Amino acid sequence: MSKEINKKKMKFNIIDVVVIIVLIVAFIIGSRILGLGKKMGIGMEETKATFTVELRDAPLELFNQMQVGDEVNIAIDSVDYGRITAISEPEPTMVQAFDTTTGKYNFVAPQDPRYTAYITIEANANESDASVLVGNTEVKVGKAIFVKGKGYSGKGYVVELDTASTPNP
């Protein structure tokens, strides 16, 4: 009798196939509507992305080691790369401090001199309406990006992003 029960449970019929197909179609339509396909890399177009990273409060030695043309990693796991195309002149970082004698806030240079510079990086990217991906790293204005090269490493924020498919205003 137990063999009869097992045979009934293992039967696969046409209704099972239809249910599976309906579920797959529903997932595809749902991901298109919600834009999940583009976030996962489906329907993205290849392009060149040029983005500027602001590196703040870094020692001057960091900027002295960087060279235009250096290949840099922009991810923690060392798999997403770009190339430095421009480096701005490092400027001293000023901090806001309260002056107790005048009762006002003033901008002053910190005790330990730190600098701010803008690094322009170009990389191959995949672009969709929702995002720009360099490898697996999403690049968007305001997002933190690591800039790691031979002998240096810094963390900054993307302040400008341009892709080959988006026209400049």
Q: What are the pLDDT digits (tens) for 35-56?
A: 555 455 555 788 899 999 999 8
Question: Are 54 and 91 contained in the same domain?
Answer: yes
Phi–psi pair at 162, nearest 5 degrees: -140, 135
Element (H, E) at 76: none
For residue 143, the model assigns a pLDDT of 92
Percent helix, strand, coil in the chain, to 5, is 25, 45, 35
User: Is the confidence at residue 168, as pLDDT, over 50?
Assistant: no
My answer on whether 81 and 127 are in the same domain is yes
Owning domain of residue 29: 2-38
Do 139 and 113 fall within a single domain?
A: yes
pLDDT tier at 4, thresholds 50, 70, 90: low
- Please state the rounded mean pLDDT for residues 12-22: 87
Domain count, the chain: 2
Question: What single DSSP character describes residue 10?
Answer: T
Q: What is the CATH number of the domain that holds 86?
A: 2.40.30
Assess if residue 158 is contained within a domain.
yes
Tokens linked to 19: 């249910």
* pLDDT of res. 51: 94
- 34 & 49 share domain: no
The single residue listed with the structure tokens 């026209």 is 167
Q: What is the pLDDT of residues 131-161, one digit of tens each?
A: 888 888 888 899 999 899 998 999 999 999 9
Residue 76 lies in a domain: yes
Same domain? 74 vs 15:
no
Helix (DSSP H) and strand (DSSP E) numbers for the chain = 4, 11
Same domain, 104 and 130: yes
**Residue 168 resides in a domain:** no
Ramachandran region of residue 41, left (φ > 0), alpha (ψ -120 to 50) or beta?
left
User: How distant, in Å, are the alpha carbons of 28, 95, 128, 135 from that of 115?
Assistant: 49, 11, 35, 29
Residues 6 and 53 grouped into a single domain = no
pLDDT tens, residue by residue, 90-133: 988 888 889 899 999 988 877 778 899 999 999 998 887 778 88
Same domain, 152 and 107: yes
Same domain, 159 and 84: yes
| Alpha-carbon gap, residue 160 to 169, rounded angstroms | 13
Looking at the whole model, is its pTM more than 0.75?
no
Residues 111 and 56 both lie in one domain = yes
Gap between the Cα atoms of 143 and 73, Å rounded: 15
Nearest to 84 by CA among 149, 5, 16: 149
Regarding whether 86 and 10 lie in a shared domain, the answer is no
